[in-house]
Structure 1
Amino acid sequence: MDRTSASRMEAACSLLAESERRYLLYLLAEDRGANIEEFISQVAAWELDEPAGTIEKETRQRIYVSLVHNHLPRLADYDIIEYDLRSGDIVLDDGFDDIKPLLEQFRQTEEVPEIRQRPAL
């Protein structure tokens, strides 16, 4: 493996090490795009192991801030997603295909049964 390939693999593993980023990508992979509001409740539900309808406003706000200020910019920097904060739209970008096999490996080992039972990416 050359140095460039090794660096890309390390970056991919680093990006996918964070559960909120993986959860977002699992959901995006199903539809190739959606609105951030559609993700917040489901990401929170998986993270907290609670039903999506019971997530408190403060928790939703914390996840929104985390996505907007941390996770979305990191994924966009590697061309995995594109997003527009004004509209809230998020879509997969060309770089997603590079990490898709690794993301699938992560999906199969997630602690949340609902994630493992979803169709393959």
Structure 2
Amino acid sequence: MTSKSHSERDCVEFVRTVLDWLDEHDESDASTASLDDAFALLADQRRRLLLAVMRTYGEELTLPDAAEEVAVRETGHSVTNISAERVQEVYLSLYHDHLPRLVDAGLLEYDQERDLVAPNAV
């Protein structure tokens, strides 16, 4: 028998925590669908990073600033060591894919006219 890595143990613990949560709550179709929706939103690393950036700052940011911060967190490099093309690619994927999903879910707000992203106040 091989020992599990730290990340494998973390994953197992997380799954057990979610299963315990499900046992404590009504496993109706509505809660199951909500859980599926939540996991679908969190399945993509870039969406998780954008949510983490917004939680870190706790206030509105321009989408270009948020894209820079997501790129920094993706690469582990300082913004001065990331190409403008990479930041632009992150910006475009946030704008066209990830941000609309998070706005539709009610997690973030977006003012397109001012290109500002903010945590949802609700």
TM-score where L is the length of structure 1: 0.72
Letter in 2 for 1:5: S
Confirm whether residue 12 of structure 1 aligns to residue 12 of structure 2.
no
Q: Distance in 2 between matches of 1:43 and 1:18?
A: 13
- Structure 2 residue aligned with 1:83: 110
Offset, 1:3 = 0.5
- Across the aligned residues of Structure 1 and Structure 2, the Cα RMSD in angstroms comes to 1.5
Contact 1:41 1:53 in 2 (8 A): no
Letter in 1 for 2:46: E
Q: Distance in 1 between matches of 2:72 and 2:54?
A: 16
- Structure 2 residue aligned with 1:27: 53
Counting aligned pairs with the same residue, the percent is 29
- Structure 2 residue aligned with 1:73: 100
Offset, 1:94 = 5.3
Structure 1 runs, 4 residues or longer, greater than 4 Å off:
none
- Report which of the two structures shows the higher radius of gyration computed on alpha carbons: 2
Pairwise mapping of residues 35-74 of structure 1 onto structure 2 (< 5 A)? 35-74=62-101
Q: Distance in 2 between matches of 1:86 and 1:55?
A: 27
Q: Distance in 2 between matches of 1:34 and 1:94?
A: 14
Contact 1:33 1:89 in 2 (8 A): yes
- Structure 2 residue aligned with 1:116: none
Q: Distance in 2 between matches of 1:10 and 1:94?
A: 23
Q: Distance in 2 between matches of 1:68 and 1:90?
A: 10
